[in-house]
Structure 1
Amino acid sequence: MKFLFDLFPIILFFIAFKLAGVFTATAVAIAATGLQVAWVWWRHGKVDTMLWVSLALVTVFGGATLLLHDEIFIKWKPTVLYWLFATTLAASALLFRRNLIRTMLGEQITLPDKIWARLNGAWVIFFLTMGGLNLIIAFSFSTDIWVNFKLFGGMGLMLVFVIAQSLFLGKYVESENEEKP
């Protein structure tokens, strides 16, 4: 359910784009993300940093798209978000010796330090790649293809990446369970 909730603004952007074009879709994405933040705030009393960052980026890049009537800005938003995630993961690990993937998943899974580092690095590479791929699609193909990629391609690649990670991590989780009596 959380996965669909996280995709809420992207799905609404997609629908609005197909019905009314990129500028209406951009306004819808800004409003949907704002509603998403308000809902989380109302339900939980706090909002995850990632959601605040997403709201800020969609508001800045979407606002520029609407104000300047130029879709180039909204096309840059996913790349900036992906590269910000990659930079945050890499900088946390390199500068502060803090593995944010481990911080997020450490209570659900126990892994050796070396595997946590690989997992963090894999996410950095994934986000860098997704950012670059977004730019290639956004500036080499039509806006319609970019919007389709944004929803279906991005979600599909994320799913493939998570499944590949699960398969990779499976051997470490199983060996961890086998050692316990």
Structure 2
Amino acid sequence: MTEPRKIKPWLKATLELGPLVLFFVVFMRMREQTVTIAGTEYSGFIFATLVFIPVLVASTLALWRLTGKLAPMQIATLVLVVVFGGLSVWLNDPKFFKMKPTIIYLIFAGLLGASLALRRNWLGLVMAEALPMSDAGWRILTGRMALLFLGLAVANEFVWRNMSETAWVNFKTFGLPLLMVGFFILNAKLFERHALPKDGE
């Protein structure tokens, strides 16, 4: 199997986070305005979505070209952004794009739950290179991540259905990534307790 090629961390971060940051900036500048394209008026949210889709496609393709590999979550995110973002633009209805995080989190929660039920270590296959752990550690982490994704799906549904578009964009841009980071920080003891010994230990 071909090893993924290494790229500079700042370039990787730019390609992964740049499209989301651009979406946030465009939305914040255009949220009180409408844009007319081919005789149809679009809200600032829809216009930001229209900008976000091709930029995400380009950055994901660039990441694949530079590294030779994409994570399953990156592929799933790209597909769902194109489908649901495209529906939001086509139908001029923002709810489809807002539902995208819910759907992707439910998909991953379902996959992780299935891996536990089938006694398969699918999460370890994806993350073992970066986070070598024992099988017991992976089982615990898989269960916790399945619950995390379920919680994030519920949280996304609550925010977009009950709060303003600005609140949802802030939640999507900053809240969801911070919750993910917080999850891994809270599980630091798990990683330490179930880490595989390094060579020579």
TM-score (normalizing by structure 2): 0.79
Q: 2:120 pairs with 91, 98, 105, which one?
A: 98
Equivalences, count: 177
- Which residue pairs with 1:82 in the alignment? 105
| Residue 19 (structure 1) shift | 1.4
Matches within 5 A, 1:163-178: 163-173=185-195, 177=197
Structure 2 stretches of 5 or more lacking a match? 1-8, 31-43
| Residue 92 (structure 1) shift | 2.9
Task: Provide the identity percentage.
Answer: 34
| Residue 72 (structure 1) shift | 0.7
Matches within 5 A, 1:10-89: 10-20=20-30, 21-89=44-112
Structure 1 stretches of 5 or more lacking a match? none
Q: Which amino acid aligns with 2:180?
A: M
- Which residue pairs with 1:5 in the alignment? 15
Q: Which moved more, 1:101-110 or 1:117-126?
A: 101-110
Q: Which moved more, 1:55-64 or 1:32-41?
A: 32-41
| Residue 6 (structure 1) shift | 2.2
Separation of aligned partners in 2, 1:80 and 1:47: 20
Q: More helix per residue: 1 or 2?
A: 1
Matches within 5 A, 1:136-147: 136-147=158-169
Separation of aligned partners in 2, 1:3 and 1:159: 15
Q: Which moved more, 1:84-93 or 1:141-150?
A: 84-93
| Residue 45 (structure 1) shift | 4.2
| Residue 40 (structure 1) shift | 2.3
42 and 127 in structure 1: CA distance in 2 versus 1, 3 angstrom threshold? same
2:109·2:149 contact (CA, 8 Å) conserved in 1?
yes
